[in-house]
Amino acid sequence: MLSTFAFSAFVSRYLSRTVLALMCFAVALCVASCGGEQSKTSDEDDAAAGPANVKRGVKPEADAEAAVIETAYGRIVIELYPNLAPKMVERFKTLIKEGFYNGTTFHRVNVRSGVVQGGDPNSKDNDPSNDGGGDSPYPDVPGEFSDIPFDKGIVGAARQGPHPALGGEPELTKEKAYDTANCQFYITLSRVAQWDTEYTVFGRVIEGMNNVQVIAGAPTLSGTENPAEKIVMKSVTLQPRANFQKP
């Protein structure tokens, strides 16, 4: 059956499509095989074999540019690892240059689960129920997996989880789900071993992790992981990595 961690996150991330969510929830209770539909997530907790194309023994090499996120809670600086995830880093940098992330929010916060998630264009509106289901105008990015552990401060690419064919949605297998990252990302607050080799690692917070911790503890709407008040990314820019101290 689903772990308590996966179960609680499972319920919250389907609020955007209530009918399909309830159907998928019922299937999950019976077969423990449903991990998501259209929402991008970082919650899959599946003991089955992971992806075959895992880079192992590769040391992260920081890009010449770092991503700088400005929020009301302070600045968050992320170094990027193109040698681990070239396609995801390229996508992230492209969207930053286009101003895509400006005005989006950290729409999901959970200290207990160890994650804050953001980058969804849907989060710009005033309907928190659709947060987590948005994408950029570009195609999904294939999974780029490595054996870098999901320790505190790691930045991963959110993606869909596998799900059966329900409510007009086609089946999404575990293998296909690996290739559904797009624009959303998340930051881990602590060690989350079950995400190792299951999600694309493409960066790490090198400054402002204390601000991430504060964001993670923000009050949420009842029964959800959505902050009660929007936590807006005022701007996300690329700046020289050399401007920031090595951690």
State the Cα angle at 37 between 32 and 38, rounded to 5°: 160
How confident is the model over 35-57, as pLDDT tens digits?
333 577 666 554 456 888 899 99
pLDDT for the residue 241? 97
Q: Return the percentage of the chain with pLDDT > 70, whole number.
A: 80
Quick one: which of 116, 240, 121 has its CA closest to 182?
121
> Using 50, 70 and 90 to split pLDDT, how confident is the model at 115?
very high
pLDDT for the residue 51? 87
Q: Are strands 54-55 and 145-146 parallel, antiparallel or unpaired?
A: parallel
How confident is the model over 144-160, as pLDDT tens digits?
999 999 999 999 999 99
Q: Mind listing the domains of the chain with CATH numbers?
A: 4-44+55-242 (2.40.100.10)
CA atoms within 13 A of residue 183's CA, in its CB half-sphere: 25
Mean pLDDT taken over the chain: 85
